[in-house]
Chain A
């Protein structure tokens, strides 16, 4: 008795230790604090089990501990005042919708800790089950080793001590459990000696043995290179889904554009639709200037202009109809007039050129339909080339801002690109062209996020060269700024997809989330803000007139349809499946040879797995089958099937072995008497030709127990 108590205690210690190894790294690798509280909790759980405290009492005590710890860590209320109770209850209630909608990020620390306690509670049961009932811990042990080694490899956690502990203690535990399972007389001391000696010998050998330098490249860099996407998953920036967001301070990461319609427009020309501009580059993204200056206009915009007088302009009108009311205006550059509902005043935020419709008391007034009058510019290349550098110091400072952290090589690259170019326009065009020629790829999925101190532009220009409009436009702005060319980053939409023509000759465009875009505006003295398009697969919708003498292929002036086509073509080139609405095609793709081969391999794998793990499920099928069956001599069939299962389990009856000898062997293995009892009955059935159907019904439970054992 005393012996078994000590044994039990030792096993509990092992259980505690294994879980402890799981908790120890948490402080290093996660934001978990006060790990001690959790460790104390598992120790408490195991202690209660060891003392064989009744289940309900143990549950109460554990809950008490959890409440006390949560209160102590978060609420700081006196425990017996029970003030924490409504708070905790509120937390739980608040989290029901959060869990229901998988908004894990919104979970509070209180609730997370609470859940963590519950998880640990369950884990203690699980480990106990493995150790005391199943008497096998290999799976959990291997998981623990894997856990520690992965943390050691990929995080700041150093698992040297943990690994040595795990090898020594874990092997001891494994061999102990195996020893307990051995049938027959056991030589405890011999086993202890052999076990201890072999483990210490192997640890000693491992300790003194020569350690090779890493044979593989650093797995982190290696994996990073191949799975940038996965890496970004862990960095916290999830896949962006919406086409147009307000926060651009952390650019990068994959981007899923959907086809939800944002607005439709009736317009004569295609042009960019602006929403706002941002001009402070942080090294990670864009933020707006902290400037609250607002300019107000009623319907005629006489407060802000984008082009100087020297630019050739055409006055056009457009109608915008948004899918849902928006609190800001979507407008073309050169906006002159807005015709909205009666009494609406427009307020333009000077810092980012975002225009908010408001009522007279300056409450935001979301608009869904409005008519715009704007000046559509046509830029003369000659004029642009002749533009003088900007002299306005304040403006120059504002639009050539760059972070101090910008790597030098970005500036050097800019210098290299524009080498030999004299005019600002030529420089700008050179940089715009640079993105079309130097291996840059338009990509929305496999897009990196700059890590640590890495610069967003630097990463794109020199490392990944893969990205979407934000990468291209931001990089162009930064390159220009490094050359002291005033430039800014503009967000909005492209002209969208052409749908139809109205009776008065206007085009109807549909602009979806997919058309969200960002581009570049460069300031030319005497001309104004001129848009440029560095992004691959997109083209500048504005017109640039060439002097007649210069024979140069005109920049691709593409209709909206061809823009769409180009994008789509790119998509196809990237191997994306364009969703086919033709069901015949779908079926055809389903039954191509590759699918069939994959299916066959899959089936074979499943069949193999089923066969490989038949011991786990087949006994239960047998149980079920025999529960359904009725009739005479069922017992003989059941017994023979039990023999088969035992054989599968690894307890094979030898040819010359009698049933009794075999039953004794089986019973010794399982520590039961059931097989012998069954065998006595079977002997009567088979060697005496006795009808044992009535006895079988009484003894059936023994048979079921044994069948279940073969499944463990």
Chain B
């Protein structure tokens, strides 16, 4: 995270709130907030038990929003997600039974375990901001923030998300295991009552929506835009990359950078914001060539390399 920059007080309070529950993951908390402010969604890629659910719940509680959880299984149907119309015999008409997606903060657990059909139902909802059941389009509540998780270890019987779908997540984060001291701290906190129960909201949904409006006003200079595009374009011509970042990736990077600048009391984006967010925004949008994968090169490596080589604009 950037040094010597204070956070917006509301944001600071929110991150602090999350940190009460999730120990030693300030970076994840901050980046999740970036996605929340930028109106994007987060893909959490990690093994079970590191606190993914806790994180999402903590975010939901902090913004005083409705939290929903969908556990994806192979037999889950799209209607199990977006809801279904049932014939009400008393009323003599079909009645919409909302699915679990009708919430503010959704945890889509193990999203790669379900069939592509169900996956796309969710992702479509994420992209469009509404669901269509039986020809009736129903708007999703605002804000609508999805944190999907996937387990990178067990591939048996999974349906890996296709590139086009991955693209819809603003950020891909990895939580990782806590350190020794952090884990001891976790045990200490869990001894009595889980801290999640005591969490108090710091902002409400309305405030969050107005913050989102402010984020959109953060100034981004031509030079910085050009810098973003240059980084993205370099990903397309990189020798180890099979498929580079799409323009949607450029937009995502810009929006994330705006949110990040806003969080840090700035009404303009600097290249530092772009550099810092690029790995999280771009890595999951790159498909590596098989031989690069074979060489052990990861998408994160490539993004880091591109960022290190792209000249930072600093002159008029």
Q: Which residues of A contact B (CB under 8 A)?
A: 636, 640, 643, 653-661, 664, 676, 683-684, 686-689
Contact = CB atoms under 8 A, between A and B. Distances in A.
B316 A686 contact: yes
A687 B266 CA distance: 11
B177 interface: no
B3 interface: yes
Given A686-B223, A687-B223, A688-B267, A658 B272 contact: yes
Contacts of A643: 314
A655 B312 contact: yes
A636 B316 contact: yes
Interface in B215-270: 219, 221, 223-224, 267-270
Among B224, B270, B275, B307, max chain A CB count under 10 A is at B270
A470 to B, nearest CB: 76
Nearest to B268: A688
A581 to B, nearest CB: 62
Contacts of B224: 687
B308 interface: yes
Contacts of A636: 316
A656 B316 contact: no
Interface of A, secondary structure class, is helix
Contact of A688 (B4, B221, B309): B221
A686 B312 contact: no
A661 B274 CA distance: 13
29 contacts: A636-B316, A640-B315, A643-B314, A653-B314, A654-B308, A655-B309, A656-B310, A656-B311, A657-B312, A658-B271, A658-B275, A658-B314, A659-B270, A659-B314, A661-B272, A664-B3, A676-B4, A683-B268, A683-B270, A684-B268, A686-B223, A686-B315, A687-B221, A687-B268, A687-B269, A687-B270, A688-B219, A688-B221, A689-B219
Contacts of A687: 221, 223-224, 268-271
Contacts of B272: 658, 660-661
Interface of B, secondary structure class, is loop
A654 B307 CA distance: 12
B301 to A, nearest CB: 14
A688 B314 CA distance: 12
A664 B224 CA distance: 21
- Chain B interface extent, by class: 20 to 34
B219 A656 contact: no
Contact of A656 (B3, B223, B309, B315): B309
Contacts of A683: 268, 270
Nearest to A659: B314
B226 to A, nearest CB: 12
B187 interface: no
B86 interface: no
Nearest to A636: B316
B290 to A, nearest CB: 28
Contacts of B268: 683-684, 687-688
A661 B314 CA distance: 12
Contact of A660 (B221, B270, B313, B315): B270
A685 to B, nearest CB: 9
Contacts of B275: 656, 658
Interface in B1-55: 2-4
A686 B221 contact: yes
A684 B269 CA distance: 10
Contacts of B219: 688-689
A689 B270 contact: no
Given A687-B223, A688-B221, A656 B308 contact: yes
Among A636, A684, A686, max chain B CB count under 10 A is at A686
Contacts of A660: 2, 270, 272
A655 B307 CA distance: 10
Contacts of A686: 221, 223, 313-316
4 nearest A-B residue pairs (beta carbon): A688-B268, A656-B308, A658-B272, A655-B311
A316 B272 CA distance: 108
A658 B315 contact: no
Contacts of B221: 686-689
Given A683-B268, A687-B268, 15 more contacts: A655-B311, A656-B312, A659-B314, A661-B272, A683-B270, A684-B268, A686-B223, A686-B315, A686-B316, A687-B221, A687-B224, A687-B269, A687-B270, A687-B271, A688-B267
Nearest to B222: A689
A654 B316 CA distance: 18
Among B2, B268, B314, max chain A CB count under 10 A is at B314
B24 to A, nearest CB: 22
Contacts of A676: 4
Interface string B185-225: 00000000000000000000000000000000001010110
Given A687-B223, A688-B219, A658 B4 contact: no
Among A636, A653, A656, A661, max chain B CB count under 10 A is at A656
